[in-house]
A and B are shown apart, each in its own frame.
Chain A
Amino acid sequence: PKKLFESETIYQSARKALHSTVPVQMPGRENEHKQLRDFIKCHLMNKTSGTLYVSGPPGTGKTASLSTILQQPDIITEFKEVYVNCTAIKSSGSIYLRIIQELGIKSSSRTEKDSVAAIENYLSTNHKMILLVLDEIDQLESKKQSVLYTIFEWPSRKNSKIILIGIANALDLTDRILPRLQARCELKPQLMHFAPYSKQQIVEIFTDRLRSAGVLDLFVPVAVQMLAGKVAAISGDVRKALDIGRRVIEIAEKHKKEESDKKVDLKHVMGVLNSVYGTSNNLNEDNDDSFPLQQKIIVCTLLLILKKARNKDITVGKLHEVYKKVCGVRNLSGVDQAEFVGLCSLIETKGIIRVSGKKEPRLHKINLEWDEEEVAAALKDKQLMATILQDSSVLGKM
């Protein structure tokens, strides 16, 4: 009885449409798409080798554009295509073996040196054009960058017909870790940057995907504008935008029973955006007293020391001593040092403080990572905080 799979709800199809896998079309990346295609076509026509380095922040469609190009029939047939994701290999040296396997070279090579020789031998013979795509190429960094240099020198070898495309996040990877490539013009890779998506492009992506699924009217246009504006302003990462879009749909689906209106509107989008990009306010949204009392006192003591004491570098031992006095003033029994260290690490998991140091727990340094307003918002106990901060007599000689 598989009854429910046939009738897809409007929300479900919208969610599917916004799923962040590789799409068929890439709106907003027409220029880059054309540039990539021209690069490959040009080298294909002239039967020459070439190097291209594609950079851009995460989620800007580098891999997706390339894989859409690689699926086009006129390119697939002309090339021997090798796609390697460099995170999937064991170490930078084992990339050669992987390439040998992908190219189908017959060799009994065991060592790295032999594999390089086998590949270079293959390159010098007459062969089909090779399109070598190395994704996340910064994983190939080694001590003297010998692997990267070797690979980047292949296109300039005699008789080789290889197009090398490297993909990574850093804009200046080739300048920074491969400076020697600049010395020779023929080795210099052509650079191409994928800029973060702008607001208009994200809107385009959303409308395109929703239209193709036939659920364009689910979203109010203003809601899409709002979402796109926020994401573009912060990171321009389309994975995040799609993620938020899906969350918004999920929430709208939950609320639809109460409301007759089926559309996703600004209210839902704002709710998700605040919970995602609001900083510490989402720490404890519903219940007030989820922050344990002793931890509150520890954070307040830390604030007090930072504000009033002369000596600002704080160790666990010092903080514990002042904390004991604060507890004494307030007629509470404080915890002992072993427990105190554990509490500090619990606070650390919330991201409020950072405990650093290696050897003795008593000598670990504590740094506050948030500012006072954020802490106050998280503690939600103005009274306690005010009384502790007023009492500078517990500091003693500090």
Chain B
Amino acid sequence: LRTPTRQTKRVKVLDSIIEEMKKAKITPAPKTPKAPKTPKVSKTPKVPKTPTNSSASFRKKLMEGTITPSMQIRNVPVLNAATPLNMARTKLHVSYVPKALPCREKEFDDIISFVEGKLLDGCGGCIYISGVPGTGKTATVTEVIKNLQSKADDCEIPEFDYVSINGMRLSEPRQSYVEILKQLDGQIVVWEQAQKMLDNRFTKKQGKKKQKPVVLLVDELDILCTKRQDVVYNLLDWPTKATAQLIVLTIANTMDLPERLLMGRVTSRLGLTRLTFQAYTHKQLQEIVTKRLTGTNAFNPDAIQLAARKVASVSGDARRALDICRRAAEIAEADNNAELVSMGHVNEALNSMITQPKVRAIKVSSRLEQLILQSVVAEVERTGVDETTFADVYTMFLSVAGIDGFRKVSITIALAAVARLGACRLLLTEQKSVDLNQKLILNVSSDDIYYALRKD
């Protein structure tokens, strides 16, 4: 009997609450007085464009190619003091492009006659240029293009468009289509669309207007090789179409890249026109440095010869030779009373560039670490196998330490020392298991360890 009454009561209470709520809703709640406005109103005049809007339109403009990205400019250009050493330094910088490239005349002639012939014939073609780094491949090709452009201006050869892509500058091989289209037409689209547009341009017959021939330079070709090799295939297939007049110059380091990496059908399209840039000999390196330094007499000729011979015996890389000479000039500059870069300076530069940091690292490591290195060597000699485990090294370490009168250290401390040696790459350690079964391999030759530890 009681429960229903309660329920009805409850219902009544609820109803009244709802009523009240309805009333409250209808009547507007009294507004809380607003806080006095903070001086948020900017005193500085606002930038005309709001940031979100501007970035969208900015991007659109950038994609269409109507605006070009610019860089901040210094207010005052950097003055370079005109001491002979300073001048020599600027001229020896790798980025300084000399007027003519010495020692590459034959290659220059080969490439220019190839491209010129293709332009005059009105057909496409490919050439593959290879050579170790720093032998002047890209420099020669860009020089050829510059030469051809000036010839085209004089109407000696037909006008052409020049496009250059670099495999290393692309996030993905297929981005090369985007880059090529950007340089041809100035617009940025996604790669599928770019490929379709290029495909149309190169394979379909153009009706009225005749397209200009295109010279395409592909640097670092080996980066563009994927498993499917579709990018390389397309780049090399377009020149074989009669409608496209595309001349492709490909550059890579490996001499036998086509045979080693590319598919048969890609190699067949690449053709047999190949050119190899040999490493510079010491005479050529000497000539390169001397040609750059004409007008300044800051270098002793013998000093140049020393640098050239050293570099030619190792790699024949011109960048290396220039770097060493520049470093030598810096050393000479630091040496106050030196007017001339001498053999001594070059030698110092060579020593600082071709150093043996590992021997020094062994010399300055702690006594415990040295003992561990010694015991690893001893263990390798005992077993005759390169790979050792930490447990064996530790037992060997105990006896080596005993002979030396060094106090026995615990395994934990020894492990910590091994980890330090692993971190500075004197030892190769396993990262997975840090315990007694950890495998250790020496990362320096045992002779280096003997040499470093015997001296003192």
Binding site for B on A (CB under 8 A): 1-2, 4-5, 12, 15-16, 19-22, 57-59, 85, 87-88, 90, 136, 139, 169, 237, 239-240, 243-244, 247, 250, 254, 276, 282-284, 287, 289-295, 317, 320-321, 324-325, 335-337, 339, 342-343, 346, 348-351, 360, 362-363, 397
The reply on B13 being an interface residue by CB < 8 A is no
Taking CB atoms, residues of chain A closer than 8 Å to B315 are: 292, 294-295, 342-343, 346
Taking CB atoms, residues of chain A closer than 8 Å to B117 are: 12, 15, 250
Taking CB atoms, residues of chain B closer than 8 Å to A57 are: 264
Q: Mark B333-370, 1 if CB is under 8 A from A, else 0.
A: 00000000000000000000011111000000000000
Chain B CB within 10 A, most for which of A1, A16, A20, A247? A20
Q: Determine if B272 and A276 form an interchain contact, defined as CB atoms under 8 angstroms apart.
A: yes
Taking CB atoms, residues of chain A closer than 8 Å to B195 are: 88
Least CB separation from A60: chain B residue? B268
Q: A293-B312, A336-B354, A351-B256 are in contact. List 16 more A-B contacts (CB 8 A).
A: A16-B121, A22-B242, A58-B264, A139-B230, A169-B265, A239-B268, A247-B272, A287-B281, A317-B386, A335-B314, A336-B356, A337-B444, A346-B132, A349-B130, A351-B255, A362-B443
Taking CB atoms, residues of chain A closer than 8 Å to B132 are: 346, 349-350
Q: Determine if A289 and B281 form an interchain contact, defined as CB atoms under 8 angstroms apart.
A: yes
In the complex, A395 Cα to B443 Cα: how many Å? Answer: 19
Taking CB atoms, residues of chain A closer than 8 Å to B253 are: 349
What does DSSP make chain A's interface, helix, strand, loop or mixed? Answer: helix
Interface size classification for chain B: 35 or more
- Top 10 A-B pairs ranked by shortest CB distance? A58-B268, A21-B242, A290-B278, A351-B256, A293-B313, A58-B265, A87-B230, A243-B271, A321-B445, A19-B123
In the complex, A290 Cα to B284 Cα: how many Å? Answer: 10
Taking CB atoms, residues of chain A closer than 8 Å to B276 are: 282-283
Taking CB atoms, residues of chain B closer than 8 Å to A337 are: 358, 443-445
Taking CB atoms, residues of chain B closer than 8 Å to A85 are: 237
Q: Determine if B272 and A254 form an interchain contact, defined as CB atoms under 8 angstroms apart.
A: no
From A243, A335, A351, A363, contact of B254 by CB (8 A): A351
In the complex, A324 Cα to B359 Cα: how many Å? Answer: 14
In the complex, A213 Cα to B322 Cα: how many Å? Answer: 52
Q: Mark B106-134, 1 if CB is under 8 A from A, else 0.
A: 00000001100100111100000010110
In the complex, A88 Cα to B196 Cα: how many Å? Answer: 8
What are 30 of the A-B contact pairs (CB < 8 Å)? A12-B120, A15-B117, A19-B121, A58-B267, A58-B268, A87-B237, A136-B265, A282-B276, A283-B255, A293-B313, A317-B386, A317-B442, A317-B445, A321-B445, A321-B446, A321-B447, A336-B354, A336-B357, A336-B358, A337-B358, A337-B445, A343-B315, A346-B133, A349-B130, A350-B132, A360-B441, A360-B443, A362-B441, A363-B428, A363-B441
From A4, A90, A239, A292, contact of B156 by CB (8 A): A4
Q: Determine if A294 and B445 form an interchain contact, defined as CB atoms under 8 angstroms apart.
A: no
Q: Mark B34-70, 1 if CB is under 8 A from A, else 0.
A: 0000000000000000000000000000000000000
From B199, B240, B256, contact of A20 by CB (8 A): B240
From B130, B242, B281, B314, contact of A343 by CB (8 A): B314
The reply on B213 being an interface residue by CB < 8 A is no
Q: Mark B408-452, 1 if CB is under 8 A from A, else 0.
A: 000000000000000000001000000000000111111100000
Q: Determine if A292 and B316 form an interchain contact, defined as CB atoms under 8 angstroms apart.
A: yes
In the complex, A283 Cα to B255 Cα: how many Å? Answer: 9
Q: Determine if B113 and A250 form an interchain contact, defined as CB atoms under 8 angstroms apart.
A: yes
In the complex, A342 Cα to B260 Cα: how many Å? Answer: 20
**CB proximity of A24 to chain B, nearest CB, Å:** 10
Kindly identify, within residues 254 to 281 of chain B, every residue whose CB is under 8 Å from any CB belonging to chain A. Answer: 254-256, 260, 264-265, 267-269, 271-273, 276, 278-281
In the complex, A254 Cα to B316 Cα: how many Å? Answer: 30
The reply on B233 being an interface residue by CB < 8 A is yes
**CB proximity of A169 to chain B, nearest CB, Å:** 6
Q: Mark B373-395, 1 if CB is under 8 A from A, else 0.
A: 00000000000101000000000
Q: Determine if B314 and A339 form an interchain contact, defined as CB atoms under 8 angstroms apart.
A: yes
**CB proximity of B349 to chain A, nearest CB, Å:** 15
In the complex, A176 Cα to B278 Cα: how many Å? Answer: 44
Taking CB atoms, residues of chain B closer than 8 Å to A287 are: 278, 281
In the complex, A148 Cα to B289 Cα: how many Å? Answer: 60
The reply on B209 being an interface residue by CB < 8 A is no
Taking CB atoms, residues of chain A closer than 8 Å to B282 are: 289
**CB proximity of A251 to chain B, nearest CB, Å:** 10
Q: Determine if B228 and A284 form an interchain contact, defined as CB atoms under 8 angstroms apart.
A: no
Taking CB atoms, residues of chain B closer than 8 Å to A295 are: 314-315
Taking CB atoms, residues of chain A closer than 8 Å to B264 are: 57-58, 169
Least CB separation from A64: chain B residue? B240
In the complex, A57 Cα to B263 Cα: how many Å? Answer: 11
Q: Mark B204-246, 1 if CB is under 8 A from A, else 0.
A: 0000000000000000000000001010011001001110000
Least CB separation from A272: chain B residue? B272
Taking CB atoms, residues of chain B closer than 8 Å to A339 are: 314, 354
Taking CB atoms, residues of chain A closer than 8 Å to B386 are: 317
Q: Determine if B354 and A254 form an interchain contact, defined as CB atoms under 8 angstroms apart.
A: no
Q: Determine if A349 and B255 form an interchain contact, defined as CB atoms under 8 angstroms apart.
A: yes
Least CB separation from B445: chain A residue? A321
Taking CB atoms, residues of chain A closer than 8 Å to B199 are: 88
Contact A294-B268, Cβ < 8 Å, known A90-B192, A349-B253, A351-B260: no
Least CB separation from A318: chain B residue? B386
Taking CB atoms, residues of chain B closer than 8 Å to A87 are: 228, 230, 233-234, 237
In the complex, A144 Cα to B267 Cα: how many Å? Answer: 29
**CB proximity of A90 to chain B, nearest CB, Å:** 6
In the complex, A247 Cα to B158 Cα: how many Å? Answer: 22
Taking CB atoms, residues of chain B closer than 8 Å to A250 are: 113-114, 117
In the complex, A246 Cα to B393 Cα: how many Å? Answer: 67
In the complex, A258 Cα to B358 Cα: how many Å? Answer: 59
**CB proximity of A10 to chain B, nearest CB, Å:** 13
**CB proximity of B76 to chain A, nearest CB, Å:** 41
The reply on B155 being an interface residue by CB < 8 A is yes
Least CB separation from B358: chain A residue? A336
Q: Determine if A292 and B123 form an interchain contact, defined as CB atoms under 8 angstroms apart.
A: no
Q: Determine if A291 and B240 form an interchain contact, defined as CB atoms under 8 angstroms apart.
A: no
Taking CB atoms, residues of chain B closer than 8 Å to A59 are: 268
**CB proximity of B422 to chain A, nearest CB, Å:** 11
Chain B CB within 10 A, most for which of A5, A283, A349, A363? A349
In the complex, A244 Cα to B192 Cα: how many Å? Answer: 35
Q: Determine if B279 and A2 form an interchain contact, defined as CB atoms under 8 angstroms apart.
A: no
Taking CB atoms, residues of chain B closer than 8 Å to A58 are: 264-265, 267-269
Q: Determine if B241 and A21 form an interchain contact, defined as CB atoms under 8 angstroms apart.
A: yes
**CB proximity of B48 to chain A, nearest CB, Å:** 41
Contact A324-B447, Cβ < 8 Å, known A15-B117, A87-B230, A362-B441: yes
Taking CB atoms, residues of chain B closer than 8 Å to A325 are: 447
In the complex, A139 Cα to B282 Cα: how many Å? Answer: 48
Q: Determine if B254 and A294 form an interchain contact, defined as CB atoms under 8 angstroms apart.
A: no
Q: Determine if B155 and A2 form an interchain contact, defined as CB atoms under 8 angstroms apart.
A: yes
Least CB separation from A244: chain B residue? B272
Taking CB atoms, residues of chain A closer than 8 Å to B441 are: 360, 362-363
Q: Determine if A290 and B254 form an interchain contact, defined as CB atoms under 8 angstroms apart.
A: no
From B155, B273, B447, contact of A1 by CB (8 A): B155
